[in-house]
Amino acid sequence: MDITAFFQHSAGKWISQRTSHNFASKQSENGKSTLQIEVMPSDAPDVIKLCELHGVDPASALIGMRISWEGNMDWKTQKQIGSTVLVPLADPAQTNAGRLLSGMGSPGQPSVSGRYVMGSDDALTLITESDTMYFEERIWFAGDNLRLRNSLLKPANGATLASFCSEIRMISQPAPATTPATEEASPTS
């Protein structure tokens, strides 16, 4: 599977269950959210805008994805709502890896650049690094409608946070079959 197929297979509405562990405080928390994943063509306005924001030729964009979420964590009373746009860029030297742009979703959200690697096991690994943090996330499909994610966030202050998510795609239930009206019984003689 390549990055384009992975993004396309991710489209839809998902229910996500997350467990996170903070190694510094030795605290764990759980949360639930809904994710809406929309795939965009490489020439979509948001894809072009994100490329231009990073000074990248939009022609190198392979596809775009908008991820929107709404959910709660155990200890937070306020709902967490947000969105982001992801754009993988073609790397002529490698077909399974490249640069990944992220941002433009929620107000005040920084736009960042990282990299992605599609593994031979069809798992996608996303990596973002800066002077102040390292973030790595691995996403894979355990079935057509079951995605799993694990992530590791290492800020410069050393408070490492690890997370695991299971995501189930919400499938529209087909309309119940209608039973044709029973024919009137013919009178018997």
Q: Would you say residue 181 lies in a domain?
A: no
What CATH number corresponds to the domain at position 96?
2.40.128.20
CA 13 to chain centre: 10
Q: What is the mean pLDDT of residues 60-83?
A: 86
Specify the pTM.
Answer: 0.83
| Mean pLDDT across 4-27 | 91
Minimum mean pLDDT among 43-57, 85-99, 147-161, 169-183: which range? Answer: 169-183
Judge whether 26 lies within some domain: yes
pLDDT surpassing 50 at residue 183: no
Look at residues 167, 67, 163 and name the one whose alpha carbon lies nearest to residue 109.
67
- Count of domains forming the chain: 1
Domain that holds residue 156: 3-169
In a 13 Å sphere around the CA of 124, the CA atoms on its Cβ side amount to 23
Q: Which residue has the higher pLDDT, 106 or 88?
A: 88
Do 133 and 151 form a contact (C-beta atoms < 8 A)?
no
pLDDT digits (tens, 9 = 90+) for 152-166: 999 887 778 999 999
In a domain, 174, yes or no: no
